[in-house]
Structure 1
Amino acid sequence: MKRRALRRAALCLAISRYTVERARPFCDLSGAHVLPLALEERPPEGAVELDLISQAGTGFLLMVGRMAASERYKGHDEVLEALVRLPGARLVVAGEGDDRFRLQGRAAELGLQKRVLFTGFVSEATLAELYRRSAAFVLPSLGEGFGLVYLEAMRAGKPCIAARGSAAEEVVADGTTGFLVDREAAGALPDALGRLLAHPELARRMGEAGRQRWREQFSFARFQAGLRPLLAELALSAGRTA
């Protein structure tokens, strides 16, 4: 049914080139237009969970994403293992899911229970404050179709650590707005994280570059500018066949 719908669609949009490539074995998206996701100018407002924010403190590594047993490609285990090699570094993991308790147990096995805070579900306003207080954002996922959380971190002026071979390559500018790491390369993830933690000025510069990249390439204005001509052409085509 999905393939038939794609064949009959007058317009097909994809959020990343990565998505187009991943879909290729199942359907032909060669005619798809790639239109990246966008993020609003201001983070959501609302009540902030002050007790949680107090526990988190500042200067921590932040990871945001669902913790599902079916989505272990996100890299939670790899980040915990990287933290072992970064004495003194702290990690805040925001999100919920059926794999949370296993990950908490894994953190305890690694002796990280005092350095890792699992927040569970948090409000959008609380999440925005966590981004603001963090030192860097990390999500070495190998399965995101785009990864809106990278834009959230960039909007907050934070450098991002992501994985090569993923859609993040289209969002994170390696060496400019953060680092892309090879998850299979021993030491690559802790080395990248350690570099940002050890060099706050580098992290600040990368974060500012990320904020600028978000404004220039992933703003709603840019999204609308990309979508408008596609819709105009669609309307024109519909008029011809009416």
Structure 2
Amino acid sequence: MKPATGHGTGVLFLALDTYGRIGGIQRFNQRLVAALAAISDENGWSGPIVHVMRDRPADIPNIAPAAITAFGPRRLGFVLRSIAAARRCRILFLGHINLLPVALVCKLLAPRIRLVLFVHGDEVWNDPAYRRMRFYEPAMARALSRIAAVSAFTAKRMQHAFGLPGERFRIFPNAVDDIDRRLDPKKGSRNILTVARLDLHDRGKNIDALIEAMVLLKRRNVECTLQVVGEGPLKGELASLARERAVEDRVEFLGRISDAELAEAYARACLFAMPSSKEGFGIVFLEAWRHGLPVICGTGDAAAEIVTDGIDGFAVGPRDIEALAAKMTLLLDDPDRAFAMGEAGAEKVRTRYLLRHFRENLEELIGGLA
């Protein structure tokens, strides 16, 4: 990829947070920074300029792949420094739609800069349960050269809500780390795993439906344990539900755990389940496939775009407790099929969703803007 001539060859990336919190968008941002640094180095460009509004300097790791400025409470500093940086860059990547006003000011002062917004899910669906569209955003969004959406589902939702032309969108899937281990889930395992932040706006993950399914499995004498990884306000609510439904002995809340402990939880599990109705992509299913697990997802969001029903997992109605319990039972009672589905998922990750695919997609996106 050759750098474009004129108006600099630099890339500016603006994010709300990247290293100071744990979540799908934060992981995406980290991968984007690393990929931008590598592409810039190979093409002889100056390294990417990365400004993070909410992170504090202490949040940025010493091994960060690029020079990153974390502004913490200095919001005005973030805006002014970003405007100044934009004047010597040709591409401005935005990590969240909340940064559109800053991008528009940058565009006004540096008219030749190309604006690209990454969108991940419910932040652009205009769903009042998650985030309402600001009245000014559709007009501002017309200044964007590209909108990189992690799924066709999210692209269509935003296109409809914002009244934007379809050709403005590009599908830019999420990615996970390489599979560096032999997949060999424990054949005798009866653990069902789910992973979520358990914030109040995560009710759409439908962890409560998993607990209700555990009630049915207990009545039918199906031995298994549901392990819930995550910390947040919903944890107490879900624990109360498990007690009320008399399955507290079958539901374990592991809280927030380290990456090493999470890997152990995946190794103990025989399947991953999250019948969500709010996935903008479904990276949790990629992570489960990395560990060789079959998955159960919901049918009402982008997860059904990622999971092939009956091949590498099952897609069920998010509130269909009977169907959810039936698919859980099937995978628990047929470990050979569960293993085969997990292997199929791992192969899908290897061929579509690794870091090299992420970087190839980024290079294509940048090349299309040159």
**Per-residue deviation at 1:42?**
4.8
Residues 20, 29 of structure 1: 8 Å contact kept: no
CA distance in 1, matches of 2:145, 2:156: 20
CA distance in 2, matches of 1:120, 1:185: 26
**Per-residue deviation at 1:29?**
5.6
From 33, 39, 51, the equivalent of 2:170 is: 33
Is the deviation greater in 101-110 or in 27-36? Answer: 27-36
Higher relative contact order, chain-length normalized (CA < 8 Å, sep 6+): 1
CA distance in 2, matches of 1:186, 1:58: 22
CA distance in 2, matches of 1:175, 1:76: 22
Which residue matches 1:14? Answer: 149
Unmatched tracts of structure 1, length 5 or more? 44-56, 236-242
Give the RMSD, CA atoms, in angstroms. 1.7
Structure 1 pair 193/234, CA: closer, same or farther in 2 (3 Å)?
A: same
Q: Which amino acid aligns with 1:152?
A: E
**Per-residue deviation at 1:180?**
0.3
Residues 23, 29 of structure 1: 8 Å contact kept: no
TM-score by length of 2: 0.57
Structure (1 or 2) with the greater strand fraction: 2
CA distance in 2, matches of 1:111, 1:208: 35
Which residue matches 1:49? Answer: none
CA distance in 1, matches of 2:295, 2:247: 22
Q: Which amino acid aligns with 2:216?
A: R
CA distance in 2, matches of 1:58, 1:198: 11
**Per-residue deviation at 1:70?**
2.5
CA distance in 1, matches of 2:291, 2:190: 14
Residues 294, 338 of structure 2: 8 Å contact kept: yes
Which residue matches 2:192? Answer: 61
CA distance in 2, matches of 1:32, 1:120: 37
Please say if 1:78 is aligned against 2:209: yes
From 174, 183, 189, the equivalent of 2:318 is: 183
TM-score by length of 1: 0.86
Structure 1 pair 67/149, CA: closer, same or farther in 2 (3 Å)?
A: same
Residues 49-74 of structure 1 show CA distances to partners (whole Å, capped at 9, x for unaligned) of xxxxxxxx943000100212322110
Q: Flag the structure with larger Rg.
A: 2
Which residue matches 2:337? Answer: 202
Structure 1 pair 166/29, CA: closer, same or farther in 2 (3 Å)?
A: farther
What is the identity percentage for the equivalent residue pairs of Structure 1 and Structure 2?
36
Which residue matches 1:125? Answer: 260
CA distance in 1, matches of 2:335, 2:151: 31
